[in-house]
Amino acid sequence: MEKVRQPAADSKRVRVAIAQSAPVYLDKRASLAKALDLIQQAAKQDALLVAFGETWLPGYPAWLDVCRGAALWENPSTKDVFAKLRDNSITVPGEEVNALSEAERDLNIAIVIGANERVDAGPGIGTLYNSLLTISEDGRLNNHHRKLVPTYTERLVWGNGDGRGLEAVPTSAGRVGGLICWEHWMPLARMAMHDSGEHVHVAVWPTVHELHQLASRHYAFEGRCFVLAVGLMMPTVDLPHELRNDVTSRPGDGGWIEHGGSAIIGPDSQYVIEPVFDREELLVSDLDLTQIDRESMTFDVSGHYARPDLFRFEKKDTDAN
C-alpha cells in the first residue's frame, strides 16, 4: 500500500470524509479490500478521519425487511443467507481488524467502520453483533461499540450490546464517538456520548432518509458537535438469490435498496454537506472546531444545562458476553 504523508493537523480545523459506497455484499475479504482502497483515497485528500456505514463489513441484512417471509419461523432460505452472513462476519480482534490497523498506521488516518461481528470463543460464542469500530491513526482499536438494541426484525440476526464503547475517543480529528441507527432515539445513550465530550459524532444508518436526517441534526444541535451521518449503498442486485423471488417492489425502485443519504452537519444543526442520494461518492469536508465553542454559549447539555443538583446520570459498563 502506498504510504501517504499528511500535514500536521490544526487542532481547530480538521478534514474528514464519508465513504458512501457499497461493500462487496456478504464477502468480507473483498469488502475489506474495497475499504482499504477507499481509506487510501481519503488519505490522499488529506482527510484525518473516514467513516463507513452501518455493518459495512460485509453488508446490512436488508432482506429482513424487503423480502416477504424472510422473518418467518424456519424459513430455509433465510437460514442459508444467515449462514453466509455468519461465515463472513469478522472477529474482534481478528484478521480484518489487524489489516485495517496496519493501514491506519501507514496512512496516518483514523476510521470508524460498521461491522457484523461474530463471537468465536468464550461466553456468547456464535452470537453476532452490530458493531462500530474506531481505529485511530496510530493503528490502535480505540473503541468497540455493539448496538445496544437491534431494531425490530434485526433481533433475528444480532444480540443486544453493552455499555462499552459509549464514549468519544481521541484522534487527530478531535474526540470522535458514534452511535448506530435507532440508538439516536435513546436519550440516555445520547447523554453518555454527550458527557464524553465529542467533537465529531459518527451516526451510521442503512439509508439516511428524512427521519434519520432529523435525528442526526437534532443530535448535532443537542450535543453541540459535528455529525457525520453515514448512509449505506446497497444495489438491488446484491439481494441474496435465495430470497429474490420474494422481494417487494418499494425499496428497490431506481436500482437501490439502500440509497445513501450521507451528510455532514454542524453544531448549529445546519448542513455542511447536504445529503447525497443514489450514488457512490467519497464526501470530504473541512470542519472548523471553533464552531463548537461558539455554539456552546447558548446550550451545553453536559455543562451549564446539566443541572447536577437536580439530575444524576450513571453509565454501567456491562459486558454482553
Q: What is the DSSP track for 43-74? A: HHTT-SEEE--TTTBT---THHHHBTTTTSTT
**Cβ atoms of 38 and 100 closer than 8 Å:** no
CA 202/CA 216 separation, integer angstroms: 9
* 225 catalytic residue (yes or no): no
C-beta of residue 292 within 8 angstroms of C-beta of residue 267: yes
Q: Is 219 exposed, middle or buried (0-12, 13-18, 19+ CB in 10 A)?
A: buried
Q: Whole-angstrom Cα distance, residue 256 to residue 114?
A: 20
28, 34, 54, 258: which is the annotated catalytic residue? Answer: 54
Between CA 131 and CA 241 the distance in angstroms is 26
Cell 464519508 locates to: 18
Q: Which of 117, 181, 225, 295 is catalytic?
A: 181
Phi, psi for 237 (deg, rounded to 5): -65, -15
Does the annotation count 67 as an active-site position? no
The number of residues making up the chain comes to 321
Instruction: Determine contact, residues 145/131, Cβ cutoff 8 Å.
Output: yes
12 is annotated as an active-site residue: no
28, 34, 137, 147: the active-site residue: 147
- 3-class secondary structure for 84-135? HHHHCCECCCCHHHHHHHHHHHHHCCEEEEEEEEECCCCCCCCCEEEEEEEE
Residues annotated as part of the active site: 54, 147, 181
